Amino acid sequence: MLFGIKSGNPAKNRSQCTMIGVYEGGKLSPTANLIDKESKGYIKKILKRGDISGKVGETFILHDVRDISAARIMLVGLGKEASADGAKFLQIVNAGINALKKIPAKNTLCCLAEASAGDEDLYWKTRKIVEHFEAAVYSFTEMRGTKKDTPIGLESIDLFMSDKADQIAMQSAIDDGTAIAKGIKTARDLGNLPGNICHPTYLAEQAQKMAGEYDSLSAKILSEKDMEKLGMHSLLSVGHGSAQPSKLIIIEHKGGKPKDAPHVLVGKGITFDTGGISLKPGANMWDMIYDMCGAASVFGTMRAVAEQNLPINIVCVIAAAENMPSDCATRPGDIVTSMSGQTIEILNTDAEGRLVLCDALTYVEKYNPKTVIDVATLTGAVVVALGSQASAMYSNDETLAEDINNAGNTTLDRVWRMPLWDEYQVQLKSAFADVANIGGREAGSITAACFLSRFAKQYRWAHLDIAGTAFRGGVANKGATGRPVTLLTQYLMDRAAES
């Protein structure tokens, strides 16, 4: 998708569709008011007829409007101006995009950035328009054979600028929005690939490929032998039942000074999760291709920050394994020694994400990181707790938690902070090892985070449980969402702004 900026008289713009906003109650946006005057009051006439009331999400398309150069005028409901906010603005944008996808327009002039969005500024609105247009035209067709989706005809979007003083802000928003959209696409593409293609070795190859595309990136892959030497027996235990070798994938973005401590992202990369010997029910097991969405999201975030060339150092570590049952698989009741030296009694082999993450969290101590955020589709319990609206956040540092929360509120890729109290640790007691890998039925997402916290005591750390937000399950309508790439990228952009 190509994005540009247009100024001048929107009534004279020869786009195949011009998108303008109308408020509930008959008030017109500035551009709608101008087009109404050029068309001799035609827009107001349409509103008086009641064809569109201006409520959020309404759209109405006009053809060949008198004295207007665009082939079509799309009226988009903006709701009540007094109650406008960022969330409603996204509803408005998405409604306009969905209507636009139904018509044969290759280009459009979008005038929605002038709509009120509460406290959100022009940069934010422009960036969100870019991100959501890119998301709307996304289609995963790589695995199609003969049955291809009908491609969306939309090729270019011009964003209307009423004041030339806004040029810098709007262009910056387009650049950032495009970078983030590329990161989201990367995450969605990886997440949507089936397990027979997207296995740990494939992820390692993709890391090396991406590192070759950007001067700021480099990639390093640790094999099972390398991890064995480091004592990463917890991570390795997960892949014992699979013919696919496990990998520890490291991607570094060197945008800051060589000696600057990096911010670290850690992603859970279980490329397929059968549950191992603690086998999952067969129904809906196909959704377990998405158990590597934590890895996919940090992959996507690294692409976004490389596109932006953020002036800070960032390290991405992906713990990649396939969890399969076999005669070589880890058994319930086995005890393994993690890289940290702590022993783990594996009571349930389907609680495998924490087993790969804990060794990765110990590994990243070598970087003396400023912050560490791990991202994982870790528990079904978090879906029950928070649904698909917010990711669960746990942290051992108040400032880090606040920074992540702020990034979530900015992007509307929100998190909800959950407790990480010592009282929950008792559920992880083991009769024979230092810690058990499950804590029982109660507070499943919390006890999983408590488990990880035992391996993250040497730095400022946060854990995001994205099992409810990273993908949509099901059969025909399933798909990776690309969350929380927007959140993580915003968090890193904010850190870069501070440096």
- If one counts every other C-beta atom within 10 angstroms of the C-beta of residue 312, the result is 22
pLDDT band, residue 197 (cuts 50/70/90) = very high
The string of DSSP codes covering 122-162 is HHHHHHHHHHHHHHHT----TT-SS-PPPPP---EEEEE-S
* Angle between helical axes of 485-498 and 167-192 (0-180°, round to 10): 140
pLDDT band, residue 12 (cuts 50/70/90) = very high
Domains of the chain: 2-160 (3.40.220.10), 180-498 (3.40.630.10)
The string of DSSP codes covering 317-344 is EEEEEEE--STTSPPTTEEEE-TTS-EE
Distance between CA atoms of residues 46 and 52, nearest Å: 7
Can you say whether residue 307 is alpha, beta or left, with left for phi > 0 and alpha for psi between -120 and 50 degrees? alpha
Q: What is the mean pLDDT of residues 111-123?
A: 97
Residue 354, CA distances (Å) to 139, 361, 380 in order: 32, 10, 13
Of 470, 476, 41, nearest to 291 by C-alpha is: 470
Q: What is the mean pLDDT of residues 220-237?
A: 98
Q: What is the mean pLDDT of the chain?
A: 96
**Residue 427: pLDDT above 90?**
yes
Of 280, 263, 232, 227, nearest to 375 by C-alpha is: 263
**Residue 371: pLDDT above 70?**
yes
Distance between CA atoms of residues 24 and 485, nearest Å: 34
Instruction: Give the length of the chain.
Output: 499
Distance between CA atoms of residues 352 and 244, nearest Å: 16
Under 8 Å CB-to-CB from 184, ≥6 apart: which residues?
Answer: 131, 134, 135, 300, 304, 482, 485, 486
Report whether 370 contacts 496 (CB < 8 A): no
Q: What is the mean pLDDT of residues 149-175?
A: 90
Report whether 308 contacts 176 (CB < 8 A): yes
The DSSP call for residue 30 is H
Distance between CA atoms of residues 160 and 305, nearest Å: 27
Q: What is the mean pLDDT of residues 179-207?
A: 98
Distance between CA atoms of residues 117 and 82, nearest Å: 10
- The confidence score (pLDDT) of residue 1 equals 85
Higher-confidence residue of 145 and 183: namely: 183
pLDDT band, residue 108 (cuts 50/70/90) = very high
pLDDT digits (tens, 9 = 90+) for 121-155: 999 999 999 999 999 889 888 888 866 666 677 89
- The confidence score (pLDDT) of residue 145 equals 81
- The confidence score (pLDDT) of residue 149 equals 64
pLDDT digits (tens, 9 = 90+) for 241-300: 999 999 999 999 999 999 999 999 999 999 999 999 999 999 989 999 999 999 999 999
Q: How far out from the chain centre does Cα 61 lie?
A: 32
pLDDT band, residue 474 (cuts 50/70/90) = confident
Catalytic residue numbers read 280, 354
pLDDT digits (tens, 9 = 90+) for 41-66: 999 999 999 999 999 989 999 999 99
Question: Sign of the C-alpha dihedral, residues 181, 127, 85, 30?
Answer: negative
**Residue 101: pLDDT above 80?**
yes
Per-residue burial over 215-231, b if 16 or more Cβ lie within 10 Å, else e, is: ebbebebbebeebeebe
Of 288, 294, 327, nearest to 196 by C-alpha is: 288
The string of DSSP codes covering 31-59 is HHHHHHHHTTSHHHHHHHHTS----TT-E
**Residue 473: pLDDT above 90?**
no
Distance between CA atoms of residues 220 and 484, nearest Å: 24
pLDDT digits (tens, 9 = 90+) for 436-465: 999 999 999 999 999 999 999 999 999 999
